[in-house]
Structure 1
Amino acid sequence: MAAAARCGFVTSIGYQDSKLGMEINGLLHFNQFSSSSLACFPSQARFFRNGLKIKRKIRSISLNPKCQVVDEIGSRASSLSALEILKTSAADRYTKESSSLLVIGINFRTTPVEIREKLSIPEAQWPQAISELCGLHHIDEAAILSTCNRMEIYVVALSQHRGVKEVTEWMSKKSGVPTSELCQHRFLLYNKDATRHLFEVSSGLDSLVLGEGQILAQVKQVVNSGQGVPGFGRKIGGMFKHAITAGKRVRTETSISTGSVSVSSAAVELAQLKLPQSSYATARVLVVGAGKMGKLVIKHLVAKGCMKMVVVNRTEDRVAAIKEEFKDVEIVYKSLPEMFTCAAEADVVFTCTASDAPLFLKKHVQTLPPVCPDVGGHRLFVDISVPRNVESSVSDLETARVYNVDDLKEVVAATKVDRLQKAAEAQGIIWEEVTKFEAWKDSLETVPTIKKLRAYAERIRASELDNCMSKMGNDLSKSQKKAINDMSMGIVNKLLHGPMEHLRCGGTDNRSLGEILENMHALNRIFGLDTEISVLEEKIRSKMEKRQK
């Protein structure tokens, strides 16, 4: 919130005392949003709507419970100092705030590949990244989804605003990209919007190639990599598992994936577009990398009629397996040290490795012999790796043309209209799965109260049972003691049945989350189940103490 806006806000509710106004401004700033957080929302429609909601909340004291503190000061200003108000706010800071699901990310829509490659995190480093994120003060759970087209961090934040700030600073430190630049490209989504986004990603609706199937396997790998990793907790893990279910349903119940193209097939089609049609069958092809992406490139090259190619890889075993699958195709294996020799004899070079550094530098490519004029006179480099395998300056050479994942939009645009119609069918399925997940997640909010209420009842039952048994002496048989014990448990279970049912949210009844949480707070008050320090504040304090040791 800008300084002028804050001053206008205070003046509008009738505060003339400058010192009190300054302290109230501090309270609003402390509890709500900063100008930097508002400036970081991207231009997409959904993100823009979220930004408008936030601005409206700041402008209207009736829409924001935290701002009601300011509204009440008008009648109490003479008896309650601003300092006391600030203290009260600090004490309630976490008790009034529940944890939030957030996604802080960049993708091919918001961020060019030059920045995406700096933020990319290899799959092998995901567990370490989760541990580092959960070491931050306000992050309780985390997951990483990093592909050639996106790098998204999903977290459960104990404080929404502080969580965003900490993750953004971590991303900056990890990648070397300044925070200010990250804020220009990142997108932020909260709670249900974050869930829906992940379900759309898993379903292929947020992909460069609408409906592509590889992203579902990548979402599954997030779950596999997170197994046993502290920080890949119940909420995050549950969200990703529900996302996999949504992705499977969309592909099973709609035709969005029928004839769909992947990044790899789009790369092959792009190369065909850039080659003279007469040279399709004669162009010499080199594929660098035989992993998942490399294998898909080879598969689509074969589908397009390419029956001979050279494959460079660190080891031969993967290439041997590919040769076994495509027995009618001449696939020649070459080791990595032979890469430049192979490139000198190739007209089209596909690169798809996990290398952190470019494999083809300008100084190397400019020494390669020119290609035959029949294939256009330029050596084509189609680089679908992130980080990129081909140095960007290679495109400055007259003898080379370089294309990366951001250039694939030209290929996929032709089928986009048809796929958008199919995507509309998928949205209904996604909404159903989001509703199911939200009901499951909401039910977790009441679990601590359920446990505390049952423990409270059990303590009373056990105490009264002991009193009863001591008064009845030692003449009771085992069966009689068991009957009395069972009776006491039956009474407690029947008494608790009603309250427990009103704390559960399974998505099959008409109770709203607000009603269930209201029941939870009522039971906490009635039975004195609340602790002096909220769970959220206790977690944050514990994190801080650990880091100080």
Structure 2
Amino acid sequence: MSMAASSSTDHTLRSSVKFSPAQFPKSTFAPQRLSFTTPKIPKCTLRSDNPLPQNFIVSKPSPLEILKTSSADRYTKEKSSIIVIGLNVHTAPVEMREKLAIPEAQWPQVIQELCALNHIEEAAVLSTCNRIEIYLVALSQHRGVREVTDWISKKSGVSVPEISKHQILLYNKDATQHLFEVAAGLDSLVLGEGQILSQVKQVVKSGQGVPGFDRKISGLFKQAISVGKRVRTETNISSGSVSVSSAAVELALMKRLESSFGDAKVLVIGAGKMGKLVIKHLVAKGCRKMVVVNRSEEKVNAIRKELKDVDIVYRPLSEMMECAAEADVIFTGTASESLLFSKENVEILPPVGQGVRRRLFVDISIPRNVDPGVSELENALVYNVDDLREVVDANKEDRQRKAMEARGIIKEELNTFEAWKDSLETVPTIKKFRAYVERIRASELEKCLSKMRGDVSKEQKEAMYALSMGIVNKLLHGPMQHLRCDGNDTKCLDEVLENMRALNRMYDLETEISLMEEKIRVKMEKAKK
């Protein structure tokens, strides 16, 4: 039976239907006289011209039918949401993170792919050695999450259930707070680390001019950068803190049981951001000579200029295995998506120098550069980014105290951003009200000109047009002022939102098709082309 037929019959023969109390408001029944066999039924008119059998019972709508009828209303009232979905060092091991990692060069392309999905309006990607997080403005929460999770699964080859087991999933204010904590260094493996702020800045730089990196997402990341700067300026959380790169150097020292790298034969593979930081921290720990393998010598020369008193020997990537044969400590930090050291080619390397039993690999790359199987060999030790906890835990307690100050700053900035985001709600109303008034102005001007039967000069028409525009602009000035707020004053924002709702009611500005539905319809039409 269809929903329409069910509804019609239900009003026709209420006397033959048995109702449960849950179908009526509490006020319909007097609790002490409630009877499930002969309930008191609201008055209705029976149609005698369509009798039905005595034993006929009108079935109640199924839960699925109820959901279908209510979904349209719920869907049109649903507001777009800010969402973060992904994995990080706290929720997923390196084996999982490296499968989902997205190289920085691909971030603009990924933004466009995500925004091509039906329910995704804006997007940004933050992919580092410790996290792969996708930030979204979604037209529908659950639909958006489902689409993006499916996209991640297809892109990485990891099943949806496996992703769900390790993912973080936060909405709106929680998602915003999370990004602010990330930018402030509070969510890093190394509490208070500074490198993550430069990575958040890179998200904005990569997103400039990319369709889909629009007002809300761009505003979110710019506010996050402001938070990161404030936390580092106004608190001591970064004083004496270590980065992933410095923790890698500390870990190597711990495993070598040495106080410096003065006598170590050090090889650094990669001269990018991570490699450069490793080199600087090696120098701080007494290393005065090292070999750096990189695709080109340009970046190595730039590092040489900064560290003039250090002997930095450049070797091309083609000589990597020869250099590894002569080294006893090897750091890897490249963006290579394939392994640089397999178990087989490490196994045939010659023994390390006298007094050192095993060659030490410290791999801080995502995806990893060193095959985990290398650790099974008798002549090698392998550590990756997840093993840095041993170093981090040594000074974590002191940084936790400093983090309390940072959270106060984050709370202030969070309120500011949420107010700004809420103030954007008035933009569609402003546009619709202007369009509404403009239609009236143009229509009335046209009527006036038609009554004058063409006996109007060009100058007179221009004067009449200017007059109508002047009247409209002056009338619009007051309402427009009351629909604007910079977001810093909560009281002001509350008033603005109330003014917006009042204007919508007074001028019936709500359209039959919601803004959300219209955006989805346009997206789906584009996808068909």
> TM range, normalised to the smaller chain?
0.7 to 0.9
Match of 2:200 among 203, 211, 219: 219
Q: Deviations over 1:344-380 (max 9, x none)?
A: 11110000110001100000111111223523x1111
Which deviates further from its counterpart, 534-543 or 135-144? 534-543
Change (3 A) 1:87 1:390: closer
Aligned match for 2:131, one of 150, 170, 183:
150
Return the alpha-carbon distance in structure 2 between the equivalents of residues 491 and 314 of structure 1.
67
- The Cα shift of 1:172 comes to 0.9
Aligned equivalent of 2:414: 434
Query: d(CA) in 2 for partners of 1:503 and 1:298?
Result: 55
Is contact 1:20-1:82 (8 Å) kept? no
Is 1:169 the counterpart of 2:150? The answer is: yes
1:108 aligns with 2:89: yes
- Output the amino acid matched with 1:457: V
**Corresponding position: 1:367 with 2:348:** yes
Q: Secondary structure at the match of 2:368?
A: coil
Cα distance change of structure 1 residues 491 and 211 upon mapping to structure 2, 3 Å threshold: same
AA at the equivalent of 1:103: V
Question: Following the alignment from structure 2 to structure 1, what is the Cα–Cα distance between the partners of residues 83 and 44?
Answer: 41
1:43-122 equivalent positions in 2, closer than 5 A: 82=61, 85-86=66-67, 88-122=69-103
Change beyond 3 A, Cα 1:173–1:220: same
Aligned to 1:95, the other structure's residue is in SS state helix
Residue 204 of structure 1 and its aligned partner are, at CA, apart by: 1.1
Q: Tell me if the contact between 2:423 and 2:487 (Cα under 8 Å) persists in the aligned partners.
A: no
Cα distance in 1, alignment partners of residues 79 and 164 from structure 2:
25
Matched with 1:327 is: 308
Equivalent AA in structure 2 for residue 358 of structure 1: L
Give the Cα separation in 2 of the matches to 1:312 and 1:227.
32
Instruction: Verify: 1:378 aligned to 2:372, yes or no.
Output: no
1:287 pairs, out of 250, 268, 287, with 268
1:86/1:344 CA distance change after superposition, 3 Å:
closer
Structure 2, unaligned runs of 5 or more: 1-16, 24-39, 46-57
Instruction: Provide the residue aligned with 1:533 in structure 2.
Output: 513
For residue 133 of structure 1, what is the aligned residue in structure 2?
A: 114
8 A contact 2:325–2:350 mirrored in 1: yes
Q: Distance in 2 between matches of 1:352 and 1:115?
A: 18
TM-score by length of 2: 0.83
Separation in structure 1 between the aligned mates of residue 527 and residue 458 of structure 2, nearest angstrom = 56
- SS of 1:374's equivalent in the other structure is coil
Whether contact under 8 Å (2:267, 2:291) holds in the other structure is yes
Aligned to 1:305: 286
Select the residue among 189, 202, 210 that pairs with 2:183. 202
Residue equivalent to 1:268: 249
CA distance in 1, matches of 2:260, 2:419: 57
- The 3-state SS of whatever aligns with 2:355 is helix
Shift of 1:435: 1.6
What SS does the aligned partner of 2:77 have? coil
Deviations 1:228-254 (A, max 9, x none): 111112111111111111111111222
2:228 is aligned to 247
Deviations 1:316-357 (A, max 9, x none): 111122112211111111111111111111110000110001
Residue matched to 1:408: 388
Kept in 1, the 8 Å contact 2:260–2:286? The answer is no
Instruction: Name the aligned partner's letter for residue 151 of structure 2.
Output: W
Distance 1:240 1:278, change over 3 A: closer
Aligned to 2:12: none
Contact in 1 for aligned 2:487/2:493 (Cα 8 Å) = no
Q: Assess, with a 3 A threshold, how the Cα gap between structure 1 residues 245 and 78 changes in structure 2: closer, same or farther.
A: farther
Count of aligned pairs between the two proteins: 480
- TM superposition score normalised by structure 1: 0.81
| Partners of 1:111 and 1:512 in 2: CA distance | 43
Please tell me whether Structure 1 or Structure 2 has the larger radius of gyration of its CA atoms: 2
CA distance in 1, matches of 2:314, 2:262: 20
1:453 is the counterpart of 2:433: yes
Q: How does 1:477-496 map to 2 (within 5 A)?
A: 489=469, 491-496=471-476
Q: Which sits farther off after the overlay, 440-449 or 380-389?
A: 440-449
* In structure 2, C-alpha distance between the alignment counterparts of 1:277 and 1:433, rounded to whole Å: 44
Whole-angstrom distance in 2 between the partners of 1:515 and 1:170 = 41
Pair 1:143–1:77, CA change in 2 (3 A): farther
Note if 1:185 corresponds to 2:166.
yes
> Alpha carbons of 1:77 and 1:493: their partners in 2 closer, same or farther (altered >3 Å)?
farther
Q: Which amino acid aligns with 2:132?
A: M
Aligned-pair distance for 1:465? Answer: 4.9
Distance 1:497 1:442 in 2: 22
Aligned-residue sequence identity (percent) comes to 68
Partner of 1:71: none
Deviation per CA, 1:244-303, whole angstroms, max 9, x where unpaired?
Answer: 111111112222222221111111111011113277421110001111111110011011
